[in-house]
Amino acid sequence: MVVVFTTSVTRAGNMDTQALCSALLSGRTRFALVITDPGGRLVSANSAAQTLFGLHSGLVGAELTCMFTDRQRHLGLLDSEMQDALVHGGAVETRLYRHAESGIERWFEAELSPLFDAAGAHLGYLRIAQDVNERYLSDETMRRHAGIDQLTGLLNRRAFYEKIDQYVALNARAPKCVILHLIDLDLFKDVNDTLGHASGDAVLREIALRLKSVTRETDYVGRLGGDEFAVLQTGTSSLLEGGYLARKLVTLCRQPVYLHNHEVKLSASIGIATYPDDSRVPAELLRKADLALYRVKSDGRDNYCYFTEALDEKAKLHGEHVAAVREAVRLRQFHLEYQPIMSARDSSIGRAEALLRCDHGLLKDLPILEVLELLRNSGSMCEMSRWIVAQACRDAEAWRKQGYPPVQVAINLCARELSTTDIVAVIETALREHGLASTYLSVELTEHDVLDSKGTGLEVIMALRALGVSISLDDFGTGCASLEYLTSLPVDVLKLDRTFVAGLPDDAISAKVVVAMIGLAHSLGLRIVAEGVETVRQRDYLLAQTCDELQGFFISAPLNAAAFSRFRARLDAPVRHGA
């Protein structure tokens, strides 16, 4: 509702706007009428509003948030609803309001309308509210009993699961196909984070409406929680109908949602499992639809996928791998290999990178990146990193006792450890226990790790440098950090990613990029290491371009601690270039 004070009304009644307002507010009505200025501050209220909300004359000029609940205030509801009313006019909503004096909260049906004068100037807002507390509460109890999700009006999780149970039981004798869709909104968290929870709720309501709009009477639509929805398609004659519906749902969810002048773009991922083909057990159907959903998510979202046995096999294998990695951590079935890093100046090996290897029977042939992912997912990465730090220091101590001059050992850390400042203490203790000077330890991090560590990364880097540990930026060139960000990072060494080295020296683009990066590092006063040096031509090109250090199979593959000692023993006489 948009209220306009037209001059014809004021003239006809021979009243000005102010008088009309007072007349309106003095009328006898059980509706609470509240007028605010454009900023949401109280101008006047009728007697019902005084009784229902405690809005007495002493509050004139105060923000109307005094009749809002803490949560509404926290969500900035007043501003968003005023903006909404200006754009879309008034809409009736059921709301909890608070009595300004007693603090008692009750449910109201309320409408907020903007007020304009005849010239179109925005005068403020009129809020009309009616107490519906008793009715609302009894309806709510009913809704809860009926298994309705409060926010969207769809079935809630419990009621939806009951529907699956019912259908499975119903079809036990003469199985008809029932199709379960698990729907997850992609990146919905961003909506909540950037636009606030009230907007997030509005998006969920809109999605619920869309899901309802394309499903049939015989289908059940539920909200399982958060941004997870589900559809149970019954009465279908073919499994293909699952795909038809899922395609429609995916397309619909892709349409933008408009909220307070914001265009919110979303997409949905859908996993499908079918009864009785995939399983006759409700919990299994859910698990299988979830596996299919997971597959869609890992394949880039915004799509749907049917469950397949291959997914199940993969999930089972994953389960075995997770158990194996836990066992490997418990039994310390790991060792470190060391890849020599050669100085370009005199071909000496002053540094080595420690690389993790897993010795568990089931995992030893997996790429180490997969084992690392398993460690992260099973929550063991921090424990492993503590072991890696200690083991690297132990090996370095052993080499020193064997009489080799010390080498600097570089260990890799990832975002997870950077998020816990604990790692600084772990490193400090390990250095002390093994009598290693901090200059003989270095830490390698990627730009992603620093960015993903949510601010604590920088703190950890500073603390490590204060300790005397040097920092290398790993896989340099593959990240997406801005140059400005990069130059502000306190690091000592850049490690040029091997993808750039691979094309050297013939690939003109790689060659240009490498030259530019070496120049960039040097102009920032940093040393640069080329990774993945595999051929003599690559080495010679990099040396000609004044790259500081080289690492790669051409110098040596990673070696276990004993082999690394032997490698150094052989290097007693310095290696000559081109030898």
Q: How many residues at the interface with ligand C2E, by CB under 6 A?
A: 21
Contact 221, 245 (CB under 8 A): no
Minimum distance from CB of 447 to Ca ion (Å)? 12
Write each residue from 374 to 393 as x if it is in contact with ligand C2E (CB under 6 A), else as -, in one continuous string.
--------------x-----
Looking at beta carbons, which residue is closest to ligand C2E?
Answer: 552
Q: Is 141 exposed, middle or buried (0-12, 13-18, 19+ CB in 10 A)?
A: exposed
344 makes contact, choosing from ligand C2E, Ca ion, none, with CB < 5 to 8 Å by partner type, with none
DSSP state of 405: P
449 belongs to the binding site for Ca ion (CB under 5 A): no
How far, in Å, CA of 257 to CA of 263, rounded?
Answer: 6
Nearer to Ca ion, 278 or 444 (CB): 444
Shortest separation between residue 354's beta carbon and ligand C2E, angstroms: 6
| Window 400-429: residues binding ligand C2E (CB under 6 A) | 412-414
Instruction: Evaluate the CA torsion angle 54, 57, 58, 64 in order and state its sign.
Output: positive
Q: In the stretch 86-125, what mask flags binding to ligand C2E with x, by CB under 6 A?
A: ----------------------------------------
Kindly state the smallest distance separating residue 530's Cβ from Ca ion, in Å. Answer: 10
Interaction with ligand C2E in 491-530: which residues (CB under 6 A)? 498
Contact indicator for 521, 513 with CB cutoff of 8 Å: no
Subset of residues 342 to 361 that bind ligand C2E, contact rule: CB under 6 A? 355-356
Across 374-385, b (16+ Cβ under 10 Å) vs e yields bbbebebbbebb
CB of 364 to ligand C2E, least distance (A): 13
Per rule CB under 5 A, is residue 447 in the interface with Ca ion? no
Nearest Cα residue to 171 out of 240, 246, 233: 233
- Closest by CA position to 548, among listed 350, 340, 339, 343: 343
Binding flag, residue 339, ligand C2E (CB under 6 A): yes
Per DSSP, helices labelled H in 183-336 are: 188-195, 197-214, 240-254, 282-298, 309-330
Beta strand residue intervals within 320-359, DSSP E = 334-343, 349-358
Cβ neighbours around 21 below 10 Å, total: 20
Give the interface segment with ligand C2E, choosing from 93-101, 182-190, 366-374, 519-527 (CB under 6 A): 366-374
CA distance 515 to 32: 74
Options 93-101, 191-199, 255-263, 551-559: segment touching ligand C2E (CB under 6 A): 551-559
Q: Which does 552 bind (CB under 5 to 8 A by kind): Ca ion, ligand C2E, none?
A: ligand C2E
Considering only residues 230, 342, 372, 529, which one is a binding residue for ligand C2E as defined by CB under 6 A? 372
Residue 475 in the binding site for Ca ion (CB under 5 A): yes
Q: Report d(CA 476, CA 417) in Å as an integer.
A: 20
405 C-beta neighbours (distance < 10 Å), count? 10
**Residue 553 makes contact with ligand C2E by CB under 6 A:** yes
Among 184, 278, 444, 447, binds Ca ion (CB under 5 A): 444
Where along the sequence are the contacts to Ca ion (CB under 5 A)? 412, 444, 474-475, 531
Which residues are at the interface with ligand C2E (CB under 6 A)?
339, 355-356, 368-369, 372, 388, 412-414, 444, 474-475, 498, 531-534, 552-553, 558
